[in-house]
Amino acid sequence: MDTNAFWIILTGSLAAGACALVGCFLVLRKMSMLGDAISHAVLPGIALAFLFSGSRETVPMLIGAGVLGVVTAFAIETLHRAGKLQQDASIGVTFTWLFAVGVILITYYAGAIDLDQDCVLYGEIAYVPLDLWLRPDGTSFGPRAIWTLGFVFLMNLAFVLFGYKELKITSFDPALAASLGISATLWHYLLMGMVSLTTVGAFESVGAILVVAMLIAPPATAYLLTDRLDRMLIYAVIIGVASAIGGYLLAGWLDGSIAGAMAVISGVLFALAFLFSPTHGVLTERMRTRSNELNEGPDVGVVPQ
């Protein structure tokens, strides 16, 4: 494996791992599409951060995305509760409007913002090894994306480790959380903020499409493989990393999009778990039912004397 391949796979793995950690709680809370909404709705936050800061540094981008992510979650909840819209309708209205605003901002201020919507949607992970973090004396610290995504991954890992109990209780039983003095609303918005930071951290290198895939597919696959939250988190990260490695190999074989191939592999792994999971697989359950029927034998009844 050459150096460029290593950096590309590491970038995909860090993005997948960071997305998987927060994505598990989105899946458990039945909020998977909210991750999709936030991944698109943070675009105006990125554009405004560029306009006000005049730079593409990580900190302004993360702040802008975090603020817009919380605004998105708040707007969706407000439309759902006060506006009496269904949750899916609230999500659709909010994220399409905010995403469109972001595209308009980028298009209108194209001369001031060194970013385009194709970059945000599709990314270009193949160029990661070319964008290096250089010191004034020319010393290289490696690709910028590695440092950005590594920072985001560590933030998500710390968030899950230190807030594990609160996230678990508020995900499974909000009423119990309230009785214990744990604010479900606070942890909901903290989670939305972390999803926003994760999204923008991966935007430029892997694009929104792969971010959405990694937020949902590896956690959903892990959900089918275990009934324990701690194992689900570990499995989701492993599946995300496997998707990154397999996607790179598939893209090399097909000479196609690396990010797209990673998303395809994550979908294939989900399909395999859906069919063959030991506990929840569709074919596994049918085979188990068939085996039980054969073991029990036919019901011939009792012939009266």
Provide mean pLDDT across the span 100-108: 81
What confidence tier does 16 reach under pLDDT thresholds 50, 70, 90?
very high
- The CATH code belonging to domain 3-215 is 1.10.3470.10
Tell me how far apart the terminal alpha carbons of the chain are, to the nearest angstrom: 79
Please give the pLDDT value at position 127: 78
pLDDT beyond 60 at 155: yes
Q: How far apart are CA 260 and CA 142, in angstroms?
A: 24
What confidence tier does 250 reach under pLDDT thresholds 50, 70, 90?
very high
pLDDT beyond 90 at 167: yes
| Cα distances (Å, whole numbers) of residue 37 to 99, 244, 283 | 9, 23, 33
Output 101-106 pairs: Cβ under 8 A, ≥24 positions apart: 101/43, 101/44, 102/40, 102/41, 102/42, 102/43, 102/44, 102/45, 102/46, 102/47, 103/43, 105/43, 105/44, 105/47, 105/48, 105/51, 106/43, 106/47
What confidence tier does 1 reach under pLDDT thresholds 50, 70, 90?
low
Higher-pLDDT residue of 137 and 9 is: 9
Q: Residue holding tokens 């796979």?
A: 9
Domain ranges of the chain: 3-215
Please give the pLDDT value at position 120: 59
Please give the pLDDT value at position 206: 80
For residue 263, which phi and psi values (nearest 5 degrees)? -65, -40
- Asked whether the beta carbons of 82 and 213 are under 8 A apart, the reply is no
Provide mean pLDDT across the span 12-29: 93
Name the helix (H) or strand (E) containing 81. helix 58-81
Q: How many CB atoms lie within 10 A of CB 59?
A: 10
Q: How many CA atoms lie within 13 A of 83 on its CB side?
A: 16
**DSSP symbol at 125:** G
- In single-letter form, the type of residue at position 155 comes to M
- Asked whether the beta carbons of 24 and 146 are under 8 A apart, the reply is no
- pLDDT 10s digits, 27-71: 998 888 877 787 777 778 877 887 787 766 767 777 787 788 778
Q: How many whole angstroms from its chain centre is CA 61? A: 18
- pLDDT 10s digits, 144-153: 889 889 999 9
Q: How many whole angstroms from its chain centre is CA 135? A: 32
Residues 6+ apart with CB under 8 A from 6: none
Average pLDDT, whole number, for the chain? 83
Please give the pLDDT value at position 218: 95
Give me 44's structure tokens: 């105006």
Higher-pLDDT residue of 170 and 53 is: 170
- pLDDT 10s digits, 179-217: 888 998 899 888 988 888 888 777 767 877 788 899 999
Q: How far apart are CA 279 and CA 65, in angstroms?
A: 38
- pLDDT 10s digits, 220-245: 999 999 999 999 999 999 999 999 99
Please give the pLDDT value at position 192: 84
Using the Cα atoms of residue 210, residue 212, residue 217 and residue 222 in order, give the sign of their dihedral.
Answer: positive
